[in-house]
Amino acid sequence: MTTIDANRVEIYDTTLRDGTQAQGVSFSLRDKLEIVQALDDLGVDYIEGGYPLSNPKDEQFFHEVAGLELKHAKIAAFGMTRRKGVKAEDDTGMQALLGSEAPVVTIVGKTWNLHVRDVLRVSEDENLAMITDSLEIMAKSGRKVFYDAEHFFDGYKADVDYALRTLRAAVEGGAKRLILCDTNGGSSISDIAEIIDAVAAAFPHVSLGIHCHNDSDLAVANSITAVLHGVRQVQGTINGIGERCGNADLISIIANLALKHGFDVLRDDSLERLTATSRYIYEMANMNFRDNQPFVGSSAFAHKGGMHVHAVQRNTETYEHIAPAAVGNTRRILVSELGGRSNIAATVPAKFGLADDRDAQAKILQQVMDMENAGYEFEAAEASFEMLVRRTLGGRWYKALWNLDHYRCEILKRDGEAPNTEAIVKLTIGEELRHTVSEGDGPVDSLFQALSAALRETYPHVDNIHLMDYRVRVVNTAAETAARVRVVIEWRDARTGRCFGSVGVCENIIDASWLALLDAIEYKLLNEQDKA
């Protein structure tokens, strides 16, 4: 018998697998490891890392993730049942799952006889044996085993008896959770409620989970309904990214379960990280934020004009169903700076001492608004936001470390040969002229190397920052090839181990990159000066 706290709902994140099936989404190995850290910080219970047999990157992921010191989350490996006619111990998929050394293994199996007949092309009994054998070998190895009952709701409606037999086969194999999957995303709320009640009655001593897709725009509602009918594990992805119309959005599910229904999810105070985590995943996936996304979108608590603004200024409950801060978001009064100033006070690092300086807050807010209007986003660009604050405040907080004369970047490409890139930087530090030339792997690397060479003698800390990731997004697509682009660069400080981001926006992708590069270097050097 498997039991968990009746008020506790486990959150199982599959952004790194199901999320990567979304069109245009691809995470590097480093991306995946950093996302694991972010999800662990959020308080997610299980993080599904991928299918170790599917590609070398996923195989390497499980090797690398074992070295991370996670505070809460457990890593799960995902795989399919053994192949037909092959013993579980001889199946390459089973061997890959065991080789991943993940403490949790999720096995997906067929519960719809249509798939058994037309996709697997095996007998119904062979499919049951494949389920039991696959889970059994994992359970005997000491892994916690979850069973994803693929297409369960469709399978149940097609053949109740066989769908339940597949679940019994999974329990016999050692499944600790039975995850009922609405894989096609076509089930209604009433379908979910009725069928879960029936399964709970048939398996009173087994814990159930839910995994919904969003093809009918009901994935969040169906997941919450499942919990209200006794399910205690919810699977989904951050922001609902996934194949076709996406998966259940864990952001909305977590907020609703915790704030509307009083369930115990994540860890204490984790809800306040929802907005930051949502935006971080958007940036990592190189996707645009969804302004009207419930709870975490930039418009979720935005008020513009008329009686709404008047009412909210008197009592925020008049037009807000929760306090924005509960999920780490902020209120926006679009026709007034009143609410914005308080947001700036909460966002600017304490070292600047602006908690009671309303004039400085207003100046910074105006700069933020102007730059956001030009295409900037600061959620994943800590360095650029701090540099905005420093330049706005001036005085002891900002003095230019150098004066640029010019930079130039040249790319030489001969037919049949790899391109060669050379950057030139000419600047002055005090009265001294520095003129450096460097080659690199592309224009951004060349410029970084040339600028670092010019600064190194005076500012040796420049060698401590390393470019980790580089992302580009078009800001105003209507302008076509003349559009502005936003470049977000992630950096790692080798001395502290911290990662931080910077951002630049320009019609010229090289200059946008240069602006992001400058912010990162100035941020690092000025903070080192603050410590001196």
pLDDT of residue 1 exceeding 50, the answer is no
pLDDT of residue 468 exceeding 70, the answer is yes
Residue pointed to by tokens 């001492």? 353
Across the range 274-294, mean pLDDT stands at: 90
Q: Tell me how far the alpha carbon of residue 463 is from its chain's centroid.
A: 29
Cβ of 495: how many Cβ atoms within 10 Å?
Answer: 12
pLDDT score for 296: 94
3-state helix, strand, coil in the chain (%, to 5): 45, 20, 35
pLDDT score for 346: 55
441 CB-near residues (< 8 Å, 6+ apart) = 421
Across the range 371-399, mean pLDDT stands at: 88
Q: Does domain 10-267 have CATH number 3.30.499.10?
A: no
219 burial (CB, 10 Å; 0-12 / 13-18 / 19+) is buried
What digits encode the pLDDT tens for the residues 223-246? Answer: 999 999 999 999 999 999 999 999
Q: Which phi and psi angles does 232 have, rounded to 5°? A: -125, 15
pLDDT score for 365: 84
Q: Closest by alpha carbon to 265, among 4, 6, 10?
A: 10
Residues 117, 84: Cα–Cα separation, whole Å: 13
Tokens of 431: 């009265």
Across the range 43-61, mean pLDDT stands at: 89
Residues 309, 262: Cα–Cα separation, whole Å: 30
Residues 425, 441: Cα–Cα separation, whole Å: 16
Q: Closest by alpha carbon to 117, among 80, 76, 140, 84?
A: 84
pLDDT band for position 351 (50/70/90)? confident
Q: Closest by alpha carbon to 364, among 375, 352, 351?
A: 352
Which sequence spans correspond to the domains of the chain? 10-267, 403-531
What digits encode the pLDDT tens for the residues 204-219? Answer: 999 999 999 999 999 9
Residues 25, 240: Cα–Cα separation, whole Å: 12
What digits encode the pLDDT tens for the residues 398-415? Answer: 999 999 999 999 998 888
Contact 314, 308 (CB under 8 A): no
Across the range 373-391, mean pLDDT stands at: 87
Q: Closest by alpha carbon to 421, among 429, 431, 413?
A: 413
Task: Name beta bridge partners: 213.
Answer: 247
pLDDT score for 425: 96
Across the range 328-335, mean pLDDT stands at: 69
8 CB-near residues (< 8 Å, 6+ apart) = 232, 263, 264, 265
Q: In the CATH hierarchy, which top-level class contains the domain 403-531?
A: alpha beta
Contact 105, 143 (CB under 8 A): yes
pLDDT band for position 435 (50/70/90)? very high
pLDDT of residue 2 exceeding 70, the answer is no
Residue pointed to by tokens 């009173």? 204
Indicate the Cα dihedral angle 368, 370, 371, 377, nearest 10°.
60
Share of the chain above pLDDT 90, in %: 69
pLDDT of residue 186 exceeding 90, the answer is yes
Q: Which phi and psi angles does 133 have, rounded to 5°? A: -60, -45
Cβ of 369: how many Cβ atoms within 10 Å?
Answer: 13
Across the range 168-182, mean pLDDT stands at: 95
Distance of CA 495 to CAs 68, 109, 499, Å? Answer: 19, 47, 11
pLDDT of residue 337 exceeding 90, the answer is no
Task: Name beta bridge partners: 439.
Answer: 422
pLDDT of residue 159 exceeding 80, the answer is yes
Share of the chain above pLDDT 70, in %: 93
**Lowest mean pLDDT across 97-111, 143-157, 410-424:** 410-424
pLDDT of residue 189 exceeding 80, the answer is yes
Q: Closest by alpha carbon to 295, among 269, 323, 317, 337?
A: 323
Contact 129, 171 (CB under 8 A): no
Distance of CA 67 to CAs 16, 36, 376, 466, Å? Answer: 18, 12, 35, 21
Tokens of 342: 């308080």
pLDDT band for position 151 (50/70/90)? very high
Provide the mean pLDDT of the chain.
90
pLDDT score for 3: 46
pLDDT score for 413: 86
Across the range 28-34, mean pLDDT stands at: 92
Residues 309, 358: Cα–Cα separation, whole Å: 21
Tokens of 397: 């907080």
3-state secondary structure 127-161: HHHHHHHHHHHHHHCCCEEEEEEECHHHHHHHCHH
